[in-house]
């Protein structure tokens, strides 16, 4: 199981965690949605759920559900700013396609 976080994403996640000290970590995974099938989820996790795994990635507690593990294995999480917009960006080797708007992806 391998997930990487760029320095920019690490800084952003640490900022969120520092502002919510009770958080168990950053939840990273996927949900079924969009025109291509899956969308990424990044949020603060209040607690660990059954079926979750805690991964320590460059000092960031990353919580990933067993259901998402195979779909996000190998993903590099980045954080980018473009003008007034800022968002996490995902480089996932498992993705075989994306919808036109870039909000969802498919896997084989």
Question: Among residues 106, 107, 9, which one has the least CA distance to residue 62?
Answer: 9
Q: Which pLDDT band holds residue 100 (cuts at 50, 70, 90)?
A: low
57-88 tens-digit pLDDT: 999 999 999 999 988 999 999 999 999 999 99
Query: Residue 3: pLDDT above 90?
Result: yes
Give me the residue spans of the domains in the chain: 4-107
pLDDT value of residue 64: 95
For the domain spanning 4-107, the CATH number is: 2.60.300.12
Average per-residue pLDDT in the chain?
87
Distance CA 17, CA 27 (A): 11
The share of the chain scoring above pLDDT 90, in percent, equals: 62
């Amino acid at each position: 199981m391998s997930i990487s976080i760029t320095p920019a994403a690490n800084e952003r996640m640490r900022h969120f965690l520092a502002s919510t000290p009770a958080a168990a970590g950053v939840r990273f995974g996927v949900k079924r949605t969009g025109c291509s099938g899956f969308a990424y989820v990044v949020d603060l996790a209040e607690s660990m759920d059954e079926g979750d795994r805690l991964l320590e990635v460059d000092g960031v507690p990353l919580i990933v559900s067993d259901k998402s593990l195979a779909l996000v294995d190998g993903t590099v999480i980045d954080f980018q700013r473009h003008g007034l917009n800022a968002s996490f960006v995902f480089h996932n080797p498992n993705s075989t396609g994306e919808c036109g708007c870039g909000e969802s992806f498919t896997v084989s």
